[in-house]
Chain A
Amino acid sequence: MTERKTTHFGYQQVPVEEKAGRVADVFHSVAARYDVMNDLMSGGVHRLWKRFTIELSAARPGQTILDIAGGTGDLTARFSRIVGPTGKVVLADINESMLKVGRDRLLDRGIAGNVETLQADAQYLPFPDNTFDCITIAFGLRNVTDKDLALRSMLRVLKPGGRLLVLEFSKPQSKLLEKVYDQYSFRLLPFMGKLVADDAESYRYLAESIRMHPDQQTLKDMMGEAGFVDCEFHNMTGGIVALHKGIKP
């Protein structure tokens, strides 16, 4: 009998082929209230983390940008203004519910013309080689089943000299902050999830998945192994979140 390969889904081990479906269920469940919960969970600070991501992206008018795992389209909206009518932004997400919320929100804000929405898996990006000047993945990489595969796929579709920016929860740099953060994540977060979105389990998964995600240095090494050069990371809010940047040689 052959042994089934497993991977982590929060603190649980699940068969590899089941993870994507389980993650999808979480995001189908939270999609409608995703932005409200983000503001509530981070006290609005997620907007500042995204703001710094935009600054570091060095996006310019006329460029082509992929916002993978773009969810409700926060980054896409901003990139759409920066690249202007001569550029293009692709908002992609594996989850149909999240993508639908994102597309509706962009349309409601009158953002159209240079934006495309697309359901896509970060591990198997459906684009030709050397397509994008910049790729961002914000709070998405930790949900991907095979992160190495996703990093290589992103490298393939980036143009030489193109930038990958990974905004993701990471490891707090102080022991005290880590303790406070643990209490917050495992006690307060599921409680808020229950209260606002009536879904404590999904928010427990979010907290667990953050702990299972590679720390700053490990992710930087993974990017280097995938083929990115000049890899660097910036800790934000004491390392609760880190922004990694790598360049395609």
Chain B
Amino acid sequence: MTDPTFRAGFDATLETAINTALRYDPGTAARLQKLVGKVLAVDLTAPKMSLFVLIEDDGIEVHSRWNGEVTTELQGSALAFLQLLKNRDATPAKLGVGVRGSSAFLAELQSILRDLDIDWEEPLAQALGDVPAHQIGRGLRTAAGWLRDALGKAPGAASEAATEEWRVTPPQAQFEAFADDVAEFTQGVDRLEARIALLREKLSRRGAN
């Protein structure tokens, strides 16, 4: 068994990180107030771990054990949970995440997490003052926008270079025509196989007579 000190440290760190973030997003903190007293159980299958998130009036608590009532229990891999949080169209069923208990609580929690808007400038402003914090915040937002833009364009640009410049892949139309030919050929072979099987059966029947 892992030393309980590590697990307690993990829970405490996660709890502090979430509560600190919530302090800089009053809107989310206010929405969570409506869910006070509810408990989310998360049963991770890979890596194997259970945790319980309690919503309290001054933030959240993270526990490794819980003996009280659970509002909603989720079961799945860490990767599936990340996609569930990140992707607006993702549903637990699509990602293979098992749900037990109240799905309304889960839907509300998902909506809150997706609308999370942490004012990162606030802690910077407290440490450095309003003007430097705003300048740094603007710089970071511009950099993040550029990065998002570049990452969004990257797949298209890479495919164009591979096809037109380096000629390591065929153009899409050519590839699709080739794929159609292969499919047609496969169907022809299947038909031929079926025809041979039929003829073989007829011959064997004639031989028996």
Contact = CB atoms under 8 A, between A and B. Distances in A.
Interface residues on B, range: 10 to 19
Interface in B103-124: none
Contacts of A238: 3
Interface string B10-31: 0110000000000000000000
Query: Which among A45, A48, A49, A243 has the greatest number of chain B C-beta atoms within 10 A?
Result: A48
Nearest to A48: B8
Nearest to A238: B3
A93 B43 CA distance: 39
Contacts of A243: 4
Given A51-B11, A51-B12, A61-B68, A45 B63 contact: no
Contacts, number: 36
A47 interface: yes
Given A58-B67, A60-B67, A60-B68, A52 B12 contact: no
Nearest to B64: A55
B63 A236 contact: no
A129 to B, nearest CB: 25
Contacts of A51: 8, 11-12
B172 to A, nearest CB: 57
Interface string B29-62: 0000000000000000000000000001000000
B63 A55 contact: yes
B55 to A, nearest CB: 13
Contacts of B65: 55-56, 58
Contacts of A45: 5
A235 interface: yes
Interface of B: 1, 3-5, 7-9, 11-12, 56, 63-65, 67-68
29 contacts: A45-B5, A47-B12, A48-B5, A48-B8, A48-B9, A48-B12, A49-B5, A49-B8, A51-B8, A51-B12, A52-B4, A52-B5, A52-B7, A52-B8, A55-B8, A55-B63, A55-B64, A55-B65, A58-B67, A60-B67, A61-B68, A235-B3, A236-B3, A236-B4, A236-B5, A237-B3, A237-B5, A238-B3, A243-B4
Given A48-B5, A52-B4, A237-B5, 7 more contacts: A49-B8, A55-B65, A60-B68, A234-B1, A236-B3, A236-B5, A243-B4
